[in-house]
Each structure stands twice: as structure tokens, then as C-alpha cells.
Structure 1
Amino acid sequence: MRMNPIEKKRITQNLIMCEVFEGLGESFVEEILRIGQIERYRAKEIVRSRGDSCEEVLILVHGEVYGLFTNSEGRVLQIDHMTAPKLLAAAVIFSTDSKYPVDVETVKDSTFLRIERESFIGLMMNNEKLLRNYLRFISDTFMFITDRFYEITMKNLVQKVCGYLLKLMNEQQSTSVVMHMTKEELAREFGVSRPALSRVFIELEKLGVIESEGKKIKIKDERYLRDYAQFGY
């Protein structure tokens, strides 16, 4: 798909900020654009489905996407929330059975750059900096997945909520915080149902730990929050 000069400039600048292309410069990124293909999707579209063949390097250059697990009963577990610029499915591209591990769904209108796997291999063979960047990115991705798996499987829901509120309190430097997500989005982040999450917030209010009004949360018992959250770390 053809690009006008303004869009090409914007995409180039976004790609320069991608971890994989760190320190490689504008001329190298322009070469990437010449061998790649641009794909565009509207909000709430499935870009790739779990199990689709992954014989490509797919880079989110503009927009946001979710990485989702959906089982046969329709239960959805949000594995990741990715914003541009971001290389997707980097850890599986060169696996024996290279398939997308999750559904990739757009949060809003998004643009991607697709590069054939063999073409990308050629680039890495000729550029040590690109190869090192890619290997570092895969290692960082592995650590993220490991931590995410631990969080999902080892922490109970109360610990997750307390840990989340504690993180917000530290980030916002206040005992009155505003959640970045709706409770529906947070439930998907934690891999639980919306009613189950609501029950935790109701219970914490009954215990006098918090006061809740929509996305606004007032922390009334910081000690409880810290004591309970630490069991998950």
C-alpha cells in the first residue's frame, strides 16, 4: 500500500523509536520500509489469530493492540496491552512451529509494518547492531512473559487488586488515586470475571480499606494494602 510523504515520515520516526531499531538511524529504517508492507486496521479488528502461521516480522508502528487468549467458552484473558512502536510475537518468529500465540486485536485504528522473515534474517546477518537489539528484545520479552505468568497463576485476586492500587498510589504519590482502566478492562487484565473483581472492591470497602467512586479510589488503610500486596511478590 502506497504512503504519502507525510505518512512515510511519521512511520519512519516511529520506527526509529522501536527497541529493535535503536541506534540504527533513519537511512536504515527507510530501507526497512522499502522491503516491508504496510497494513492498516480499524479499532476492534483482529489483526492475527492465535494459531495463525507466523513467518513474518510484524511491527506495530501506530496505534494500540491487545494480546488476548480466548477459550472455547468465550472467556478472554488479556496477556498484554501494546502501544506503538512495538515488535509483535518476536519470541516465536524463528521457532520450529512458528504460530501466533495469542489473538492480536486493535484497541484503536492502527498501522503495521510486515517484513518477510527471510528478508529480516538477511538484514540481521549484515548488521550486528540489529542482531544484538533483536536478541535483547527477545530476552526482555521472555522475562515479561515469565513475570506475567507468575502474576496470573500465583497471586489471588485480592493480592492483585491490592498490588495494583499500591502501584497507583506510588505512581500518583497520593492516597487518592485514579485508575487508568475501567473495572471491565482491569478484570480482563487479571483474567477474571467482572463480577468477581467487583466483589473484591466491595469487600475492601466493607473492611474500610478503600472508598470507591467509579475510577476514583481513596486509600484509607495503607498498611492493609501493603501487607496484603506483599504476599504476591
Structure 2
Amino acid sequence: MIYISALMQSPLFWGTASEEELKTLLSTVHYQVKKYDEGEVIAFSGDECKSLQIVIEGSVRGEMMDLNGKVLKIEDIVPPRPLAIAFLFGNNNRYPVTVTANEPTVILLFPKQSVIDLMQKNAGFLTSFMNAVSNRAQFISGKLKFLSFQSLRGKIAHYLLELDRHEKGVVTLTKTQEELAELFGVARPSLSRALRELHNEGIIKAEGKNIKIIKRVVLKEYLGK
């Protein structure tokens, strides 16, 4: 199998078997290799999720549209992570977001029956799959909570407080303002203005990527507003 080394690093297969054992295991099930060009849609929101897809090369993004018709990027998915793993089974097993290739991308596709076969043949895969589903459910829950904040200040407050869970009072932004604006679903000038206002009001002190939280209680007041 061409992509065996990459697949062994996937959270679904890591530590479940040796390289030779994994080759043998995969030889017993059906799978496909699919390639996508930059900008090509891999799945539309609402499409039925019929297979387990794992990004092997390149990267993809998940996006959804809000009630105002604005496209919000939920996250980027890089190798060797699976797509929409929490939606493979269940009564409403449909993609919650539209998945698009950010660049030339290679994906391994396992039909649902192959996934069931892997679960029955390898207890390690079954455990890893269940852990991955639980992790995605927790991520989605946090993302929905984040998107429920209607104001830009609420989104900024949530983001900063999440970065500073240990309440050290200082955080370093891991994303550019352009990436943050895309995450928050706003224009970059709007984000810059909001950060500047928080700085001028003495709620935070912004120095490049370093943010000092001065009035934590005020940030908490913005949550849900």
C-alpha cells in the first residue's frame, strides 16, 4: 500500500498494529484512493456520509453558511486526520459542512462496510474509532458554543479565554488577524477595530501577537452577548 506510512500516523491506526500487520489487515477490506485539485469540493453540506475518508496528502477545509448567507470556515483538516468521522453512523449521517480541497489532496476512502469489518477484526481500531468520535463530538460542541456568541467581542473574548485556560494573564495568538477574521466570520478591518477598542478601553493590552488580559471579568461578561 503506497500510503501505509502516513496511515499509520492517523489517530485511527496509530499503535493498532505494526506496518506488516496493518498491510495484512487492509488487504482484507475494500478501499479507494481519490485525488482532488485545489478548490474541488469533496463533499457538500447535507450529502450522505457513506464512507470513512482520511486525508493523506494536502489539506481540506470545512465551511458552513450562516443565516445571513456568510460563509464561515469551521476548520482546516490536515494529514492524517479523518473527515466527518462522527457522521459515518447514525440516523442523520450527513456532512454538516461543505468540505473543499485547499490544495492538491489525496484521500483514502473506506466504505462503511469496510469500517465495520476493520472494527470486528482489530480491537485497537475499534477503540481508536470510538475515541475519535468522542473527540469530534466534544470539538463540535465547543464550536457550536463559539458560534452562538453573536457579537464580535463575544467571539474575541471566548477565543482569548480559551487560550488562557490556566489564567496566566498573557497569551500568544497562534493565528494571523486574517485567519482570525475568517474564523470569526468578519472582515479583517472589523476585527482590527474591535481589538484596538478593547486595547484602548484597558480590557486587554495588545502588543503584536502577545495579548495581556487586564480585565478578565469584563471579557467574561461578553460571553453570550
Q: TM-score scaled to structure 1, two decimals?
A: 0.77
1:87 deviation in Å?
Answer: 1.2
1:160 deviation in Å?
Answer: 2.9
1:196 aligns with 2:190: yes
Give percent identity, aligned residues only: 28
Q: Which residue of 2 aligns with 1:27?
A: 20
Q: Note if contact 2:61-2:74 (Cα within 8 Å) is conserved in structure 1.
A: yes
SS in 1 for 2:214: helix
Question: Relative to structure 1, is the Cα distance of residues 228 and 105 closer, same or farther in structure 2, using a 3 angstrom cutoff?
Answer: farther
Question: Relative to structure 1, is the Cα distance of residues 168 and 125 closer, same or farther in structure 2, using a 3 angstrom cutoff?
Answer: closer
Q: Note if contact 2:31-2:108 (Cα within 8 Å) is conserved in structure 1.
A: yes
Bigger proportion of residues as helix: 1
SS in 2 for 1:20: coil
Structure 2 residue runs of 5 or longer lacking an equivalent are none
1:187 aligns with 2:187: no
Question: Relative to structure 1, is the Cα distance of residues 29 and 188 closer, same or farther in structure 2, using a 3 angstrom cutoff?
Answer: farther
1:88 deviation in Å?
Answer: 0.9
Question: Relative to structure 1, is the Cα distance of residues 143 and 176 closer, same or farther in structure 2, using a 3 angstrom cutoff?
Answer: closer
Q: Note if contact 1:57-1:114 (Cα within 8 Å) is conserved in structure 2.
A: yes
Taking the aligned partners of 1:85 and 1:14, their CA distance within structure 2 comes to 6
Taking the aligned partners of 2:38 and 2:174, their CA distance within structure 1 comes to 19
Q: Which moved more, 1:200-209 or 1:114-123?
A: 200-209
Taking the aligned partners of 2:88 and 2:210, their CA distance within structure 1 comes to 45
Question: Relative to structure 1, is the Cα distance of residues 32 and 228 closer, same or farther in structure 2, using a 3 angstrom cutoff?
Answer: farther
Structure 1 residue runs of 5 or longer lacking an equivalent are none
1:185 deviation in Å?
Answer: 2.3
**The one of 89, 96, 103 aligned to 1:94:** 89
- 1:59-82 per-residue CA deviation (whole Å, 9 max, x = no partner) reads 112222211103586411122222
Q: Which residue of 1 aligns with 2:4?
A: 12
CA RMSD between the two structures: 3.1
Taking the aligned partners of 1:176 and 1:57, their CA distance within structure 2 comes to 36
- 1:41-92 per-residue CA deviation (whole Å, 9 max, x = no partner) reads 2333322111222111111122222111035864111222222111111111
Q: TM-score scaled to structure 2, two decimals?
A: 0.80
Taking the aligned partners of 1:147 and 1:106, their CA distance within structure 2 comes to 24
- 1:205-228 per-residue CA deviation (whole Å, 9 max, x = no partner) reads 43254346xxx3454x5322x333
